[in-house]
Amino acid sequence: MPILCSAAKDATAIDAPTVDLFVNDEMVLIPAGPFVMGSDETDSSGKSKEYGFIKPLYEDEHPRRKEHLDAYLIDKYEVTNEEYKDFVIDQNYWMPEQWKQNGYLLTHEILNIANLETLRRVASKTYRLDMDTRVMTKEQLLDAIDKKNQELDTLPITGVTWNDADKYCRWRGKRLPSEKEWEKAARGTEGFEYPWGNEWLEGKSNSGDDSGWEHGVAPVGSYNDGRSSYGIYDMAGNVMEWVSDWYQPYPGNKFSSKDYGEKYKVVRGGGWGGVGHYAISHFSRSAYRFYVKPDSTFNDLGFRCARDAKQ
């Protein structure tokens, strides 16, 4: 597999902080201080054209530099279906399209009202249970459906727009992270190429080279060895993540793009739907920037939240 960045420490590397990180079950405190952002990499081998990428590799990441942020907190995990469901119910908000198809929002109490024939049809057509529903009792069907919904609980929410993600975070008393906050949390104190280090390693993330997940996407926190040095999960692969920023050039960036401006929102972190080994590793780089229209929805696009430390 390609190694896209040398492990040697360079002039823009950051010394590890002396403060201890406060880590709880929900959020991680990222200490105030400098960090490495961006890259100076170039596509010397012409991979952009070879793989048909919509934009040149690396150019919108320039220049590699030191930035500084005040302390902030960021979610340890991507927001899950179960967490987002609480928001949908509490706010009487639109549900993601896939929930209409997989029955996720149907509760045990609602399903219990259905007669046996209807429940068998729902179990087979909507929940797609891999069992002979024709011979199952009502209790067996309800138990199997409950188990299916519990599996979906721990998957990251997908199929949500930027506005949906923004509203959820604000409902939680949080906000979407900025590009800077997201990248610092992913790259850690050393400015790593990937959350775990400078070398691409299969098995560290759900990035399209692991076909063992029924839904494509994996339960949050499944890749313990792929955590960033701050202890944050799934910042490479699983789902791409909305951040707060519009797709704009960095200060000092000389790349000209018609897509810069307040037209597209940035998404970070790559997703499980990568194609080709080179593409997988490139999209999973912590400095990689992708961008989509704010009203876009994808089955490998979700988010996590952040908030100011002094709040």
Which of 243, 236, 234 has its CA nearest to residue 179?
A: 243
State the Cα–Cα distance between residues 311 and 151, nearest whole angstrom. Answer: 34
Which residue type sits at 173?
G
Residue 108: exposed, middle, or buried by beta-carbon count in 10 A (0-12, 13-18, 19+)?
Answer: exposed
Lowest mean pLDDT among 20-34, 113-127, 166-180, 229-243: 20-34
For the chain, the farthest-separated pair of C-alpha atoms sits apart, in whole angstroms, at: 69
pLDDT digits (tens, 9 = 90+) for 84-120: 999 999 999 999 999 988 999 888 888 999 999 999 9
* Cα 281 from Cα 283, distance rounded (Å): 6
Pairing between β-strand 72-75 and β-strand 301-302 as defined by DSSP bridges: unpaired
Band of the pLDDT at 25, cuts 50, 70, 90? Answer: confident
| Residue among 170, 230, 162, 168 nearest 196 (CA) | 230
Read off the pTM: 0.88
- Tokens 């996590």 locate to 304
Give the type of residue at 38. Answer: G
User: How far from 108 is each of 76, 115, 116, 199, CA to CA, in Å?
Assistant: 30, 13, 14, 46
pLDDT above 60: residue 256 = yes
The per-residue pLDDT for 14 is 37
How many whole angstroms from its chain centre is CA 140?
A: 35
CA distances from residue 9 to 15, 267, 299 in whole angstroms, order as listed: 10, 27, 37
The reported pLDDT for the residue numbered 4 is 31
Query: Minimum mean pLDDT among 214-218, 242-246, 247-251: which range?
Result: 214-218
pLDDT of residue 2: 30
Please spell the DSSP secondary structure of 42-82, one letter per residue. Answer: --TT-HHHHHT-SS-SSGGGPPPEEEEE--EEEESSPPBHH
How far is 73 from 23, CA to CA, in rounded Å?
Answer: 9
Sequence length of the chain is: 311
- Range list for CATH 3.90.1580.10 in the chain: 27-77+176-308
**Where residue 12 falls among pLDDT bands split at 50, 70, 90?**
very low
The C-alpha atoms of residue 58 and residue 288 are separated, in whole angstroms, by 7
Are 207 and 237 in contact by the 8 Å Cβ rule? The answer is yes
Contacts of 45 (CB under 8 A, 6+ apart): none
Strand intervals (E) in the chain: 27-30, 33-37, 65-69, 72-75, 240-246, 265-268, 290-292, 301-302, 306-308
Query: What pLDDT sits at residue 265?
Result: 98
27-77+176-308, CATH topology level: paralog of FGE (formylglycine-generating enzyme) (3.90.1580)
Candidates 210, 113, 87, 104; CA nearest to 147 is 104
Match 């000209």 to its residue by tokens.
256
